[in-house]
């Protein structure tokens, strides 16, 4: 038992979580039964045993296959509600949740079905102490024209979407491919973020910033390979939404002890800790905080800084940001151990 403060109680924002990546095997089977679909494996244990990934693509293959069980507004509501309950119990005060409409549109599920289901769960979860928003991601391994059509279909629902992102298989799909659709999204008043520098090179981070005009970089661990880029990220205080357990599971790093998070902190970068696809990668946000604390020897001050960075990077108003930062400054009170 550690005597460092309980990371479950650390006030934090989660800024990099794919709602489809919170689809636990048990829910896959429950939704398959509800919708009269054959499950993707004989048993829950068999499905979970398949969660051994060589790289990003080997994960994506299973990730997209499991999505077949998501059919109705109720399905999307229940998926989001389960994540929101769990993250609130782990100290999350604000969540910005990615969703991948193209993966559902391709299966004949309408945009409204996805957005209304997810948004209903977010609305139910919002209280004085908790907030949540949706970020619609474009699949970078699909044509830019598909992204543009996805944005067009989303326009009637933009009151329930705070921003756009870019995800899926990175290598060979540079951010510049999506310059026009991101310009359109920004013109519509949407915030912009993008996955870059996970498996792709530092040049993709430059492109995301300069061509797409993003306000945050999702992952960004390979940015450390470019000294000028590191200096820019530090000077411009561009947040990086890092996902440690994901990086281990997808072999971006060999193990948690090799993770570059301490160097990123030492470089003065606005780095945050997030769960990415927690049903697949071995832990939600508190498990990620515990992993970097234990595996990297992070101090209480380091953990507090990571949490403060998450609120600095969040798409929230300044009054709420100040309130949440004050909560972080007061933590831990009282001190206690993590489970």
Residue 277 annotated as binding site: yes
Residue 206 annotated as binding site: no
- DSSP, collapsed to helix, strand or coil, labels residue 93 as strand
Helix axes 318-330, 300-313, angle to 10 degrees: 170
| The one catalytic residue among 198, 199, 287, 327 | 198
Helix (H) or strand (E) holding 32: helix 25-35
Residue 207 falls in the annotated catalytic set:
no
Residue 173 annotated as binding site: no
Among candidate residues 87, 70, 89, the one with its CA nearest the CA of residue 20? 70
Using alpha carbons only, give the angle 23, 29, 34 rounded to the nearest 5 degrees. Answer: 105
d(CA 91, CA 89): 6
Residue 3 annotated as binding site: no
C-alpha R_g of the chain:
19
Residue 176 CA, distance from chain mean position: 21
Residue 227 CA, distance from chain mean position: 26
d(CA 154, CA 160): 10
Residue pair 155/164 in contact (Cβ under 8 Å)? The answer is no
Residue 18 annotated as binding site: yes
Residue 214 CA, distance from chain mean position: 15
Active site residues: 198
**Residues tagged in the binding site annotation:** 16, 18, 195, 276-277
Annotated binding site for substrate: 277
Residues annotated within a binding site for Zn(2+):
16, 18, 195, 276
């Amino acid at each position: 038992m550690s005597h460092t403060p309980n990371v479950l109680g650390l006030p934090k924002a989660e800024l990099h979580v794919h709602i489809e990546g919170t689809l636990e095997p048990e829910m896959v089977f429950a939704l398959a039964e509800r919708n009269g679909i054959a499950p993707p494996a004989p048993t829950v244990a068999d499905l979970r045993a398949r969660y051994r990934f060589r790289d990003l693509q080997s994960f994506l293959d299973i990730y997209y296959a499991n999505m077949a069980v998501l059919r109705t507004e109720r399905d999307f509501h229940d998926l989001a509600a389960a994540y929101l309950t769990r993250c609130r119990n782990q100290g999350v005060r604000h969540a910005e949740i990615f969703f991948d409409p193209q993966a559902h549109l391709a299966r004949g599920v309408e945009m409204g079905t996805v957005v209304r289901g997810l948004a209903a769960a977010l609305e139910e979860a919002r209280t004085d102490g908790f907030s949540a928003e949706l970020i619609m991601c474009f699949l970078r391994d699909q044509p830019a024209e598909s992204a543009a059509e996805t944005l067009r279909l989303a326009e009637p629902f933009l009151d329930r979407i705070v921003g756009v992102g870019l995800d899926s298989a990175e290598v060979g799909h540079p951010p510049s491919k999506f310059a026009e659709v991101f310009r359109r999204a920004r013109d519509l008043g949407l915030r912009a973020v993008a996955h870059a520098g996970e498996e792709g090179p530092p040049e993709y981070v430059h492109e995301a910033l300069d061509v797409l005009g993003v306000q945050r970089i999702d992952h960004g661990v390979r940015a450390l390979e470019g000294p000028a880029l590191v200096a820019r990220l530090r000077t411009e205080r561009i947040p990086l939404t890092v996902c440690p357990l994901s990086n281990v599971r997808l072999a971006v790093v060999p193990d948690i002890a090799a993770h570059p998070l301490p160097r990123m902190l030492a470089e003065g970068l606005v780095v945050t800790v997030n769960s990415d696809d927690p049903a697949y990668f071995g832990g939600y946000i508190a498990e990620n905080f515990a992993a970097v604390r234990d595996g990297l020897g992070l101090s209480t001050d380091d953990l507090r800084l990571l949490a403060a960075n998450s609120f600095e990077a969040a798409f929230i108003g300044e009054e709420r940001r100040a309130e949440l930062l004050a909560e972080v400054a007061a933590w831990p009170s009282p001190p206690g151990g993590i489970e």
